[in-house]
Structure 1
Amino acid sequence: MSTTPRLNLPLIAASQAQKEVTHNEALARLDALAHLVFLDRDLTTPPAATDGDTYLVAPSATGDWTGQDGAIASFADGFWTFHAPVTGLLAFIADEGTLAVFTAAGWRDYGALLSQVATVSQSPSGAESRMCTVEEEVTLSGATALTSIVIPDRAIVFGVSTRTTTAITGAASYDCGIAGEVSKFGGSLGIAAGATNAGVIGPQAFYADTPVQLTANGGAFTGGAVKVVLHYFLPVVPGS
């Protein structure tokens, strides 16, 4: 046997000359595959790269990646080296902040890592179940303030939480809700910096994109800021 059975690392033979060549090749392969990090998995054209950069080659690759669809491409010493993935190989997808594992069915996502939107399960046709924790800091002015982030159509909302990040002026308190239900997620909330509220509800399904509304009590907002966080589940329909 001249290579290891799983990662295909070259072995040094008895009485072999220039053993350092084989040893260094094995170390380079191990450096690429151990604690594997893909900078991107959607590229078909090799990007400008520095030593240690590693990519998963997308289908229909061109240039130096031609014929290497699905391979692990690692750059070192001015050249690309290609490796075949093995079952059970775990990779971090850096530009997506997610983990993927190589299985008999190919690479399978295993959810985002502490990201705002995490896929917790996925069907073979691309349907997904997503848990979402999305935030925005809202600067306050006037009688009401709306978030630019929205509760998405078909989301199931568990709650909206808030933190007063900059002391609020002009109002004695504020409500957190939506148009028509101004205190749905909390009423008479604190204006001092550091005041918080966990505005849990139902849960409840929403059937249109809906911004969160902050409403001033006892006067209009003349200053201050509130961090608003949406907590919801979002189903994604099959892609095929």
Structure 2
Amino acid sequence: MSEGMNSALAAVLDTAMGKVFVKGIRTDHPGVITQQREAMINPHVRPLAPAMLWHLDSVAGWDVLGFEYVEGRHPDYTPGSADLPVVVEAMRAVADLPCPDLPLKDARQRWAAYFDQPAAAEMLAGNTLLHTDYNPANMLIPADGTARMIDWAWPTRGTAWIDPCCLLVRLVAAGHTVAQAETWARRSDAWHTAPDASLDAFALASARMWDDIASADPQPWKTRMATAAREWAGSRLAGVLR
């Protein structure tokens, strides 16, 4: 497979029982934890996510996951795209999933370092299951027009309005103005549960997080995300969107 950012192995196997998508990473790579998280959460996010068929957790130094193969395309996030309502509906479907009693990432811990006061991260507490990585490469749209959420490397427990914020930054990076991106985020019921002050604080925390990510590894897409997150934070803190 030509796409994908984190797996050393990504391929479609054409087997006697049909096609299977496989992804893998060396067991001595720090990123192997993300595959273990994905294996852990998969039974709880079907059928929104393709079913994991098997997990080889230590074979010849590799951790490999096998998934139901889904024929589809990645959504277009650019302004005016007909895919955007489908994307928002998929985000709403994630929020409707029960949050399982598993050792998920906690939103307060994930973002605490990016608040002026770590205690301020308590605003992120909640019991909603979050995907948090709305890269368009992490979503497939099959021929039936519905969306399937893939790559559950960062399943997180927290307040429901975090996922709309994560999508919003992706939309700005894809060419939306902040106002346009917030219009799409408002289509999520969860967005309306967030006080303005919380959105302001999270926008600033997101900008700091993406700045850290881009500084550590300045790939073009990470730099675009950092720019988009700063644009959102700047708009909110300037009161443009009030």
- The TM tier, using the shorter chain, reads under 0.3
Is the strand fraction higher in 1 or 2? 1
- Output the TM-score relative to the length of structure 2: 0.19
- Output the TM-score relative to the length of structure 1: 0.19
Q: Which has the larger radius of gyration?
A: 1
Is the helix fraction higher in 1 or 2? 2
